[in-house]
């Protein structure tokens, strides 16, 4: 295998497929908002009301524990994708994770907009969008790398199409995943220290007068 095993040019179709799957998840999540019962909507409204109050009255500083909670959440997601990519049976699981990530984002934004109109959209823009502009591409890159390595295992272990340099794809896979994990640590710092400040700027608009 060549060292450029995980290049964008060589995996364009997989990137398109994963991106479309994620977008389908976003749409599905947004549509799920309409399926909520009145009781579920009331429960969510009460939870968000308490959350907005907590954000509004929270201190300006963020401790390192909060940062590591956010960082570990992202790293666990990438770690799970990495582990699934190490096996043949993990391939469908990678697709499920990408779809679920889209559902979570679609549902969150869809509910905020449906419940609070333009104010909800503004809150979503400061609380959901900024870090996800980096998190989503990173997760898609990790997913494509995991799918590529899983397909490599299928070709070499299941179909018996042996490659003379089997260690290179694994090394490239590990290095790429570690690089994405380091980037996520940087994104987590933004999410931990910058995002709360932007949220405190918007939450007064969402609190009842």
pLDDT tens per residue across span 48-71 = 888 888 887 776 656 677 899 999
pLDDT tens per residue across span 94-128 = 999 999 999 999 999 999 999 999 999 999 999 99
Q: Structurally, how many domains does the chain consist of?
A: 1
Across all residues in the chain, what is the average pLDDT? 87
**Does residue 58 form part of some domain?**
yes
pLDDT of residue 122: 94
**Does residue 37 form part of some domain?**
yes
**Does residue 1 form part of some domain?**
no
- Is the Cβ–Cβ distance between 135 and 187 less than 8 Å? yes
What is the distance between the alpha carbons of residues 149 and 89, in angstroms, rounded to a whole number?
12
**Does residue 124 form part of some domain?**
yes
Domain that holds residue 30: 11-206
Does the pLDDT value for residue 2 go beyond 50?
no
- Is the Cβ–Cβ distance between 150 and 87 less than 8 Å? yes
- What's the mean pLDDT in 155-182? 78
**Does residue 49 form part of some domain?**
yes
pTM of the model: 0.87
**Does residue 161 form part of some domain?**
yes
What is the distance between the alpha carbons of residues 136 and 142, in angstroms, rounded to a whole number?
10
3-state secondary structure of 116: helix
3-state secondary structure of 118: helix
**Does residue 27 form part of some domain?**
yes
Residue 204: band (very low, low, confident or very high) from pLDDT cuts 50, 70, 90: confident
**Does residue 144 form part of some domain?**
yes
pLDDT of residue 3: 42
Token pair for residue 180? 């994405």
């Amino acid at each position: 295998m060549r060292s450029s095993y995980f290049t964008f040019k060589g995996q364009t179709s997989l990137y398109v497929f994963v991106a479309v799957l994620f977008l389908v998840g976003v749409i599905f999540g947004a549509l799920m908002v309409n399926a909520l019962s009145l009781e579920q909507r009331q429960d969510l409204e009460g939870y968000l009301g308490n959350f907005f109050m907590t954000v509004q009255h929270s201190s300006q500083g963020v401790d390192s524990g909060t940062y590591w909670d956010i960082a570990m959440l992202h790293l666990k997601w990438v770690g799970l994708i990495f582990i699934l990519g190490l096996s043949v049976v993990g391939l469908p699981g990678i697709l499920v994770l990408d779809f679920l990530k889209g559902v979570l984002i679609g549902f969150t934004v869809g509910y905020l907009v449906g419940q609070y109109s333009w104010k909800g959209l503004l809150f979503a823009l400061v609380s959901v969008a900024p870090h996800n502009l980096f998190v989503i591409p990173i997760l898609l890159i990790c997913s494509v790398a995991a799918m590529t390595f899983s397909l490599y295992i299928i070709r070499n272990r299941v179909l018996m199409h042996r490659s003379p340099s089997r260690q290179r794809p694994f090394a490239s896979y590990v290095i790429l995943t570690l690089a994405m994990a380091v980037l996520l640590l940087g994104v987590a710092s933004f999410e931990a220290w910058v995002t709360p400040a932007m949220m405190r700027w918007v939450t007064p608009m969402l609190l009842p007068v």
